[in-house]
Structure 1
Amino acid sequence: SMLTFSLSVCLSVRLNILLGGMTPLYFHMVNVCLHCAVTCLLMQTCERCVFEDSRLAFITALLFAVHPVHTEAVSGIVGRADVLACLLFLLTFLSYIRSVGECDSEDSLPSTVSTWSLLISLLLGTCAMLVKETGITVFGVCLLYDALIKDAVCLTFCLSVSPSHLSGSGLRDFLHICSPFIKRAWLISVIIMSVRLWLMGGSMPLFSEQDNPASFSPHLLTRILTYLYLLSFNAWLLLAPVVLCYDWQVGSIPLVEALGDVRNVSTVLLAMVMVALCLHCIFSLQRLQHKEVLVGMLFLVFPFIPASNLFFRVGFVVAERVLYMPSMGYCILVAHGLGRLCSVLGRFGATVLSVSMLLLLLLFSWKTVQQNNVWLSREALFRRLHFREIRSLFRGVNLVTDTNLLLTD
């Protein structure tokens, strides 16, 4: 993480210092401008690739703009990496979509109509990966969007072909149909793997138990249950960002050590919701409609994979700034759900839902303003820490006196 930060974000920080000195206001202004740019790009992406109704795209962007979980990414200097990576993520996605044509028949997949747009998307995606590791997930989103939505007609045709037909000339015809997509996927895979291996030097970063206690637990069951619970915990931060904290490390979230732990209920509920959404995506693909849920799932799940602990160890327990990119998918799903409910509840129901959405936006805005006040100074950050979090933060450190003074301040 520090490697990519020093290679990319430091350039913008140095430029910030050159133009405005060390005044925190100028750093914050740049982050806010980047956040506004991401919001505008998200709205354009939704209008072009997700929603047919531009009002839903506007609601998506508005919800994204005021979501309180973005406070850490926008207010903190380190969070600039997440905001900038998200900006490059959306630019990469739009450039890739521009490079792919439309699927007019079942005889061939969409061809690459603009080689320059494809190369630009590769360049922007590589830059996103240099800014933040999660930027690499944009290529997975692009390829799946290409395969499942742009090529949906051809994909349905290919899935309907029996395996007995995929031999000899049938296999050659199948590969010929898929050749445009295979070429794009091969090019992207080779480039991102080469760049990623070069960045990491063939090794993974090392973290301590203080950074991520669950990953150092000797019990496999504890690690699995805790990792799964953290997924539901992050989902809850998106749904109801009531309690936000700048540091969730050092045991601030106790490990889930038994199947009887009540927190496993939230894990089961999240699993049920995700399974339901996946089934909805499958049925929608078969009917070639309702791509909004699929796009929302792609934008929600893929950017969070590097931070999920499921494939490799990360250096934190929960970090609100890593939810900056996945929150795009959450906002898309909320806007789509609002649109679907308004279409089936009638005029009165639509009015009630619209007022409720307006109240939610106002509540999120108020929470964002309150959370920004917490980031005014280091003292304000520490004062907002819960007693349990402060106690765990200083656990094992001989700073008892300083802790008592902080709590009584």
Structure 2
Amino acid sequence: MSGWKDYLSSPGTAAALVAVLAALASVSSLGNRFAYDDITLVVENERLADWHNPRRIWLTDWWYSKPEETEERHRDRLYRPLTMQTLGWNYALGGLRPFGYHLFNVAAHVVVSALVYRLTRVVFADAAMAFLSGALFAVHPIHTEAVANVVGRAEVLSTLFVLLGLLCLCHDLQTAGKPSARAWRAGAWLSFLAGLFSKEQAVCLLALAPLCEWWLRGRGGVSAAAGTWPASIWKRYLALVPLTALYLWMRWAALEGHLARDALPAALDNPLSQATLLERIFTPPAILAAYLRLMVWPADLC
């Protein structure tokens, strides 16, 4: 047993094992074709041929298709230009051959799994916990939809950048006072912005970052030069305010003067839009409970 502990105590070795597990768990998706939303956002998406045109990619909404159609349908007002840009790069390299798109998703999942391991190890300083967390994340079937469907990369990329941003912030705290600290902090800020441009949920980094810092400080894992809590918070997080403002401005421009959709979604897209008040109150907790159950026991995902 001690041999395995010694083996997994090496960060590089453990991260590599987690990466291999992630690749093995998702490699079967490489033979997939395009399906579901892939058809609209990849196969029928004229923007991908204009992948080198920033205006077409970065100043249009997620579901934008043809200019003459955009005013005739209910738009979700979603803004994920970095994810769309990666789809454009896939198109530039391989046209509409599905393999390259799926390979990108698998590779991104491998990186995310390794980041889960690394962040857990840095935050909790427990090699065994970090490996188990990374390994479980790597092989958990609940990630299948995000990895196997091409457009699921929005979730994968936003998760990647949130984890990377948190890891950079942790290293910033641990190397405070050294020249490298500023580079780590800049990496965290850029990761946050990239996460927002991948999918809106990356905004959760604003809540997760202080929690990580609080935990690190609680176990004494922070450099003395990092300052005291919470007085030093502004040094690390103040720049996130103008970055968020930049994102909102670009979102507003791309969505033609909107920050969110201006009409209720169809019941097929979101049943709660047509639900009664009581249904709106009690359904979300039930859904959350179902999600938690599937994370613990994913026996009936399909």
C-alpha deviation, 1:112, in angstroms: 9.0
C-alpha deviation, 1:50, in angstroms: 2.1
C-alpha deviation, 1:209, in angstroms: 2.4
Partner of 1:80: 153
C-alpha deviation, 1:101, in angstroms: 4.1
- Provide, for residues 7-44 of structure 1, a one-character-per-residue CA deviation record: whole Å limited to 9, x for no partner: 21222112222223322222212211111111111111
C-alpha spacing 1:9/1:203, structure 2 compared with 1 (3 Å) = closer
Structure 1 counterpart of 2:139, from 66, 80, 96:
66
Partner of 2:184: 117
Mapped to 1, the partners of 2:297 and 2:228 lie a distance apart of 48
C-alpha spacing 1:185/1:204, structure 2 compared with 1 (3 Å) = same
C-alpha deviation, 1:67, in angstroms: 0.8
Partner of 1:21: 95
CA contact (8 A) 1:34 1:87 kept: yes
C-alpha deviation, 1:225, in angstroms: 0.7
Structure 1: runs of 5 or more not aligned: 103-109, 155-174, 246-409
CA contact (8 A) 2:90 2:100 kept: yes
C-alpha deviation, 1:198, in angstroms: 4.1
- Taking structure 1 as the reference length, the TM-score comes to 0.48
- Provide, for residues 55-77 of structure 1, a one-character-per-residue CA deviation record: whole Å limited to 9, x for no partner: 22112111111111111111101
- Residues 310-389 of structure 1: matches in 2 within 5 Å? none
Partner of 2:216: 150
Kindly provide the amino acid, as one letter, of the partner of residue 131 in structure 2.
F
Partner of 1:181: 233
C-alpha deviation, 1:150, in angstroms: 3.2
Percent identity between matched residues is: 26
Mapped to 2, the partners of 1:112 and 1:186 lie a distance apart of 20
Partner of 1:303: none
C-alpha deviation, 1:203, in angstroms: 3.1
Kindly provide the amino acid, as one letter, of the partner of residue 209 in structure 1.
A
Partner of 1:232: 289
- Provide, for residues 188-228 of structure 1, a one-character-per-residue CA deviation record: whole Å limited to 9, x for no partner: 234324523542445322422221122322x3212101111
Mapped to 2, the partners of 1:100 and 1:152 lie a distance apart of 13
Kindly provide the amino acid, as one letter, of the partner of residue 61 in structure 1.
G
CA contact (8 A) 1:214 1:223 kept: yes
Which structure has the greater CA radius of gyration? 1
- Taking structure 2 as the reference length, the TM-score comes to 0.63
Partner of 2:244: 192
CA contact (8 A) 2:142 2:294 kept: yes
Partner of 1:132: 199
Task: Give 3-state SS (helix, strand or coil) of 2:231's partner.
Answer: helix
Mapped to 1, the partners of 2:212 and 2:158 lie a distance apart of 19
Mapped to 1, the partners of 2:228 and 2:133 lie a distance apart of 39
1:46 aligns with 2:112: no
Mapped to 1, the partners of 2:112 and 2:137 lie a distance apart of 9
Partner of 2:42: none
- Provide, for residues 143-197 of structure 1, a one-character-per-residue CA deviation record: whole Å limited to 9, x for no partner: 2222x2234389xxxxxxxxxxxxxxxxxxxx98743113333332343245235
- Provide, for residues 300-341 of structure 1, a one-character-per-residue CA deviation record: whole Å limited to 9, x for no partner: xxxxxxxxxxxxxxxxxxxxxxxxxxxxxxxxxxxxxxxxxx
Kindly provide the amino acid, as one letter, of the partner of residue 271 in structure 2.
P
Partner of 2:106: 32
How many residues matched? Answer: 214
Task: Give 3-state SS (helix, strand or coil) of 1:179's partner.
Answer: coil
C-alpha spacing 1:88/1:203, structure 2 compared with 1 (3 Å) = closer
C-alpha spacing 1:101/1:60, structure 2 compared with 1 (3 Å) = closer
Mapped to 2, the partners of 1:239 and 1:92 lie a distance apart of 27
Structure 1 counterpart of 2:269, from 211, 220, 223:
211
